[in-house]
Amino acid sequence: MNETSPIKKTETRYSFILKLIWAGAGLITLIMAVPVVSMMVEPLLRKRSQIWRAVGKTDDFRIGETVLVSFKNASAMPWGTLSEKTASWLRRVSENEFIAFTVNCAHLGCPVRWLPDAGIFMCPCHGGVYNRDGSVAAGPPPHQLDRYPVRVMNGNVEIQTSPVPITTLF
């Protein structure tokens, strides 16, 4: 007769429950790690597209005027809704010359506003001020406003989209 001692049954139950707890903890850790790992890997896998986007007819813009134009974001995610769109401050310099500034401050990325009466861009977050040409006038921005390439094709003003620039802290 082969009898199992009560101690062996207890050790077997105990080791089974312990294995079950470790398996559950591992499963929970895996579930929690998937979004974190995918967030870190996804930018490396995503195609960084630079596409020319029409923002209006040349006749829609007056020489010397700066206006806000919107277009589809180059780094928009497939599930994005509002984040699918981005904007640029567009100035018509001459008959066929345009300048497109990003709407993001070079300091921490806050959206800048154009103040036409003063002829400056103003960042409301930390008081950064830019001249009409995008150069730094005052405040903490480390460099001028970033620009998008602009061209005129078949009577349309087009901006070359690119992922939102990464801002610097200093």
Q: In terms of residue numbers, what domain contains 30? A: 1-45
Q: How many domains does the chain have?
A: 2
Same domain, 39 and 59: no
Q: Does residue 166 form part of some domain?
A: no
pLDDT of residue 66: 92
C-alpha to C-alpha distances, 148 to 14, 50, 91, 158, nearest whole angstrom: 65, 10, 12, 10
- Residue 24: band (very low, low, confident or very high) from pLDDT cuts 50, 70, 90: very high
Average pLDDT on 67-85 reads: 70
166 or 93, which is more confident?
A: 93
In this prediction, residue 89 carries a pLDDT of 92
Kindly state whether residue 13 falls inside one of the protein's structural domains. Answer: yes
User: Do 81 and 152 have their domain in common?
Assistant: yes
Q: Which residue has the higher pLDDT, 46 or 73?
A: 73
Dihedrals phi, psi of 17, to nearest 5 degrees: -65, -40
Q: What are phi and psi of 18, to 5 degrees?
A: -65, -45
- Give the CATH number of the domain where residue 123 resides: 2.102.10.10
Same structural domain, 23 and 62: no
> How many Cβ atoms sit within 10 Å of the Cβ of residue 48?
9
- Percent of the chain whose predicted confidence (pLDDT) is above 90: 33
| pTM: predicted TM-score of the whole model, two decimal places | 0.64
| Mean per-residue pLDDT, 18-37 | 91
The confidence band for 83, taking pLDDT boundaries of 50, 70 and 90, is low
Q: Provide DSSP, 75-136.
A: T--TT-SGGGEEEEEEEE-SSS-EEEEESB-TTT-PBPEEETTTTEEE-TTT--EEETTS-E
5 and 58 inside one domain: no
Residue 165 forms part of a structural domain: no
Taking all residues of the chain, what is their mean pLDDT, rounded to a whole number? 81
138 with 86, same domain?
Answer: yes
Same domain membership, residue 84 and residue 16: no
Say whether both 69 and 107 belong to one domain: yes
What pLDDT sits at residue 115?
Answer: 92
